[in-house]
A and B are shown apart, each in its own frame.
Chain A
Amino acid sequence: MLFIMLTAFAPAASEIAVIVNNENTVDKLTPGEVKLYWLRKIKKRWPDINKNIKPADRKSKCSEQDTFYESVLGMSANDVETYFTQKQYENAEKPQDKFSSDDSIIDFVAGEPGAIGFVNVSSLSAAAKSKVKVVLIVK
């Protein structure tokens, strides 16, 4: 009984979609590729569209961010922050843009050809799906 109560109230792990701008020629990405692009680890610009890679993040801790950090990046929130601070400190590289909601991330990705972000799959309405391209689903 206790188990049922605990599991009933435990926060469900989010199913997230990694999205890019419609202009981006990339169609599918593996979690490893998303990690490299989102962290701007190897490439700083998208190969075909020749635009800066602009990672989008959530402003505060949320289940979508937890899933993305854990399942795609394999990093803690502190590690991600330290990583971008280090890049900014060393190379004047712009850190990730942060947004307070999935809708804001969808709008940002729709408007920036180089953007890459993650949102809850349930936030991708038909209208939203027409504005951005889903390149990976993470459960």
Chain B
Amino acid sequence: MKTRLKFLTLVILAGSTLHSFAQDTKIRFFGQPVITNYKTTEKNQFNGVNGSGEYIKSDTTYKSESNFNTGNFVLFVTSQLSERLSVLGEANFNNDKKDFEFEMQRLMVRYYIQDYFSVRVGKMFTPIGYWNNQYTMGLVLQPTIQRPFAIRPISEGGPLQYRDIGVQFEGDNITNTRFSYKLFLGNGIGYYGSDDKNDDHIAVTAQVGAEPIDGLKILASTMMDRIEKGRPNPNGTISSLPDNGDLQLFVASLAYMNPTKKPEFIAELLSQTSKFDNLGSYSSHSYYIYGGYKITDKVTPYAMYNYTQAGRSTTEGDLYFAPIPVQVNQITLGIRYKLNSNFVLKAEYETETNKQFYQDIVVPGFGKTDNGFVNTVKNNRVRIQFAFAF
């Protein structure tokens, strides 16, 4: 089925280029170099278990020199192929790491049928929550330097399947409440942008929302997919899932981002449940709250709090997300200077505490050989980002 979806995508992408219409192509580039300085301290770093069944631990500190990073450089192209047909391509170039990376972020065709109904086919952002579809790579639009931890993509260590290949049916501005809907059928969990997952399950992502007043958006999104034994989970914390099961992600979003008003607010709650066929049900959740206030047309101080918990408690992990219970607390304070719509300077201080709860070691026949402990990693980061578009 997934192969058929990819084929359909290719056919429509190819077909879209055959239209004889005065194309109107717009090309933009997004760039976002960053200067970063960080300090990391780690207490009780887990180094293994010795022959007596005791934990081996150590404390460490890492510090960085200030470093300049080119960040992502994004080529963004849209073209109106006909009255109702438009295409969008978004390619990301990055040399953050040792090797230069190129990734096709999006490549899609949108067919506008009427005000309440249009179809997209291709690679696109999944309709999960608010942030994911609003900002992502166009960081000149994004209110912070980095997206919240809860909704970071796999490539940044997060759990979210933030883009996928498939087909999406959508409509917006329905009735006075400006009701909107999106229904996306795609490859789903485990799709990395290659053919390394070729199972026969289609993931279904649905979103409904309303914008009762300008800039105020209320959204509910859900994604359902089948997960397979032996497959890795998307963020790589589990290389081989222990059982087949069903995975469901629910996201509730509330945002007030009106460019003509001073206050800014975004809050999203994510809850993920994996129901394994034989091993029970596990869950993780995360939320973030962002608030900003435009003190002038150009200057906006802001703050964000982000909490993530993998597992229901500090003693029960999540067999899908992270077998060792994890809690992440993150506070970001920043200021944004918008010179104009094409250049935004952001400066941020971020403090993050990441706790992993290792449980008591119990050896059958010997009983408990060591007490559990908490591995605590504290990160303090200062970042300055120059986000621009041209």
Q: Give the interface of A toward B (CB within 8 A).
A: 41-45, 51-52, 74-79, 81-83, 85-86, 88-95
Chain B residues contacting A91 (CB-CB under 8 Å) are 110
Known interface pairs A85-B141, A94-B80; 13 further A-B residue pairs with C-beta atoms within 8 A, sorted by A's residue number: A42-B173, A76-B260, A78-B340, A82-B141, A82-B341, A89-B76, A89-B141, A90-B134, A91-B110, A92-B86, A92-B88, A92-B110, A94-B78
A75, A79, A86, A92 interface centre (most CB from chain B within 10 Å): A92
Q: A82 contacts B259, CB within 8 Å?
A: yes
The interface size bin for chain B is 20 to 34
Q: Decide if B99 is an interface residue (CB 8 Å cutoff).
A: no
In the assembled complex, how far is the CB of residue B111 from the closest CB belonging to chain A, in whole angstroms?
11
Q: A78 contacts B297, CB within 8 Å?
A: yes
| A77–B341 CA distance with the chains assembled, in angstroms | 8
| A93–B108 CA distance with the chains assembled, in angstroms | 12
| A5–B387 CA distance with the chains assembled, in angstroms | 43
The residue on B at minimum CB distance from A91 is B110
| A94–B78 CA distance with the chains assembled, in angstroms | 7
Q: A74 contacts B115, CB within 8 Å?
A: no
Q: B311-345: contact bitstring with A at CB < 8 Å (1 yes, 0 no)?
A: 00000000000000000000000000010111000
A81-B341 contact, Cβ under 8 Å, with A44-B112, A94-B78, A94-B86: yes
| A41–B259 CA distance with the chains assembled, in angstroms | 14
The residue on B at minimum CB distance from A97 is B24
The residue on B at minimum CB distance from A92 is B88
Q: Decide if B185 is an interface residue (CB 8 Å cutoff).
A: no
The residue on A at minimum CB distance from B173 is A42
8 contacts between A and B (CB under 8 A): A43-B115, A44-B112, A75-B259, A77-B340, A92-B78, A92-B86, A92-B110, A93-B78
Chain A residues contacting B24 (CB-CB under 8 Å) are 94
Q: Decide if B128 is an interface residue (CB 8 Å cutoff).
A: no
| Of B114, B115, B260, the contact of A75 (CB 8 Å cutoff) | B260
